[in-house]
Amino acid sequence: MFAGVWRKILTLAAVMGLIVGSIGMHVQDARAEEPEKRVYKVGYVQDRKPVSFINESGELGGITRYILDRISELSGVEFEYVALPTGSVTYDYLLNEGFDLVTSVEYNEENKQARGILISDPYLSSQKVIVAREGVEFSYNADLKVAVSTGSQTLKKVLARIFPNFELVDYDSVEACLDAMKRGEADLLIQNQYVAEYWLYRPSYENLKVIPIMGLEDKLCFSAVVPLEYSGDSPEWRQKELLIGKIDEAISQMTEDETAMYIIEGTMESQYEYTIGDLLYRYRYVAIVLGVAMVLIIVLVCLLLRARMRAMEDRADARAKGKFLSTMSHEIRTPLNGLVGLNYLMTQNLDDHEKMKTYLNQSSSTARYLMSLVNDILDMSRLQEETMELESGQVNLRLLASTSASIVRGGMGEKGIHFQIDAELPYPGILGDQVRIQQILLNILDNARKFTSVGGNVDFTARQELKDNDTVLTVFTVRDTGIGMSEEFQKHIFDTFTRETDTVSKGNQGTGLGMAISHSLAKLMGGDLTVHSRKGEGSEFTFSFPAPLAIAGEESPEWEGEAEQEKGILSDDAEGVPQSGTASAADKNSPLRVLIAEDNELNAEILMELLDDAGVAADLAENGREAVQKFAHSPIGTYQLILMDLLMPEMDGFMAARAIRALKRPDASAVKIFACTANSYQEDRDRAMESGMDDFITKPIDIGTLLDRIRTMG
């Protein structure tokens, strides 16, 4: 009896043991489907801003950090971030140091098929771009030296296959590659778009240019570190395979807009920040006058100090520059004294509308004169340093001559000067720099007005001669019956910092730079500016320059549609032309809505009020980042125009424009973006256009010009 009972007990125990064993095996299998619950060590490249870098806290920063943190949040996998040493990193090093993953690995077929390598899906995609030295022309078959950082060996293999003629040279880092290009040791660098854009913000690399490469994408992924001898059946391989699977699942849950914001945040983390003190004044109009005056005075003082330093270095020009400094001191102090006086009068007459209107008009005129001083000095500085570049666009010389005549006609009339125009321009359509051509004409025309007495004569003539089928020589001549100049002064009129001494006391303001600037510009165009004069009998200035025809061998019939407009101006009986910049009644209540990105509170307030007076609705963003966010969160089609300051805290205008253009919404590419900045150099214009902007407006903003451009948007 007892033996039977024991047999039943033993049988039951065996069955229970099998059940428990089976349950344990199922639990073990279930656990095998998940990666180990531990912190995984991730190695990152420490010098690839803005993709990955060591931030101020000594931790991983950049786009990769934002994406990894999000992956950890979605998957539950925890990571520890450790910077990899600069230069080439071997696989043995990663194994010996216990790394589980590495970032910024090239996602390509070669890596996907390589033995013993596990890679994730791409977590960051962009274009590869070419960074080239100035003067280097890219060609697929050219024999060029290409700099490659030691951390981009996979890229090196791809380049060797695609560009067999390139000589690939290794350097320790991206910065070392760029420095080698500066020294002329290498011609090109092929790099991730975001990395290239970050480094090219540095002023020292301003002579390097970016050339897009169509079809060559840069996809970055994570790679698991597993000993190469392990097979796909080993526990170590299986665990890393499960880890990569978890990462891929998290990557698939992230939207394009989410990734775009990580790109913006990571890029912003590596940018410089600017702080500008707010201008707080009790009275807005007084603040405008004082603000403009103070900025101009600071700029002028800096330029004067620079001019004085150069005078000390060049003893041969010391006397001439000493006279220039004396003249400049007079030219600055006189309007400054007027501004101080007008400011006092305005504070004493705040309730007198008519007096305030008169004072403000006088202040505005004085501020414009101070601005002209700054422009002359800046132009002369750039010409002397040979950094000025002429633009090349279609120019209608008939319209340009007529506009120039109309600008000076009022001043001629005020002095009772008989102003005669005789323009024969059979080839008006040329290619050239319209702004600089007009600058020279206005300089010599206004010079004639200044030094011609009441009741005198000024003749403005224009002639053309076809040199060949593609080039025309244009000659503008301005003759006056003014005070003339001595033979001695004629030898130096185009020298820098010169002005005939006996004209200073005659109420003729000016730095003496106008003729020097005009002469240098004419030479830069391949032309010339000459003068013939006799004391007491008048002067004759001749401005001649060659230019390509807009249409070779033709008398440019496409310009004839403007003949009626020109007819009334290029005649001695013309009364003048309508002035642009005034908002008509038809311009009011425009459906246009503008987003203003401006960090200076006073400038923003003025601009918004001016637009409001013109019937244009506007919203304000205090920096580039806020502008991107406001546009991204607005209903599609809300904004038709963005006025973008370039230098702003948190995110500058260039980066903000790129971020807006990258948004996945239909109006991101359609909205107009105008750069608004005090920087007027050609390189600033080029950077604005390259970042996706449509137009460039210099500060102080001429509201009439701005409204004209807004009206042409439709």
Q: Locate 642 and state its tokens.
A: 């963005």
Omega of the bond leading into 227 within 30 degrees of 0 (cis) = no
What pLDDT sits at residue 610? 81
Average pLDDT over residues 299-328: 63
Task: Report domain extents, the chain.
Answer: 1-33, 39-270, 284-384, 393-567, 585-711
Higher-confidence position of 713 and 537: 537
Is the fold of 39-270 the same as that of 585-711?
Answer: no
CA distances from 606 to 398, 432, 613, 670 (A): 36, 35, 11, 27
**What is the H or E stretch that residue 285 is in?**
helix 284-313
What pLDDT sits at residue 612? 85
In DSSP terms, 697 is beta-bridged to 676
Average pLDDT over residues 457-481: 93
Q: Which residue has the tokens 């987003």?
A: 595
Q: Specify whether the CB–CB gap between 571 and 528 falls below 8 A.
A: no
Average pLDDT over residues 691-702: 83
Q: Quick one: CATH architecture of 393-567? A: 2-Layer Sandwich (3.30)
Distance CA 524, CA 386 (A): 10
Query: CB neighbours (10 Å) of residue 398?
Result: 26
pLDDT tier, 317 (very low <50, low <70, confident <90, very high otherwise): low
CATH number of the domain at 585-711, out of 3.40.50.970, 3.40.50.2000, 3.40.50.2300, 1.10.569.10?
A: 3.40.50.2300
| Residue 539 predicted with pLDDT over 50 | yes
pLDDT-wise least confident of 18-27, 357-366, 451-460, 512-521: 18-27
pLDDT-wise least confident of 196-210, 476-490, 504-518: 504-518
| Residue 419 predicted with pLDDT over 70 | yes
Mean per-residue pLDDT of the chain = 77
pLDDT-wise least confident of 58-72, 98-112, 392-406: 98-112
CATH number of the domain at 39-270, out of 3.40.50.720, 3.90.700.10, 3.40.190.170, 3.40.640.10?
A: 3.40.190.170
For 3-24, what is each residue's pLDDT tens digit?
454 455 445 545 455 444 544 4
Q: 176: Cβ–Cβ under 8 A, 6 or more apart, which residues? A: 147, 149
Q: Among candidates 120, 85, 101, which has minimal Cα distance to 39?
A: 101
| Residue 444 predicted with pLDDT over 80 | yes
Q: pTM here?
A: 0.40
Q: Locate 402 and state its tokens.
A: 């007529």
Distance CA 529, CA 19 (A): 105
Q: Locate 95 and state its tokens.
A: 């194994």
What pLDDT sits at residue 586? 35
CA distances from 287 to 133, 317, 343, 347, 579 (A): 46, 40, 9, 11, 27
Beta strand spans in 14-153 (E): 39-44, 47-48, 52-54, 60-61, 78-83, 101-106, 118-119, 124-133, 145-149
Q: Locate 615 and state its tokens.
A: 């019937």
Q: 372: Cβ–Cβ under 8 A, 6 or more apart, which residues? A: none
Q: Among candidates 271, 263, 266, 265, which has minimal Cα distance to 664?
A: 263
Burial 21-41 (b: 16+ CB within 10 A, else e): eeeeeeeeeeeeeebeeeebb
- Side-chain-side CA neighbours of 709 within 13 Å: the count stands at 19
Handedness of CA 177, 181, 186, 192 (dihedral sign): positive
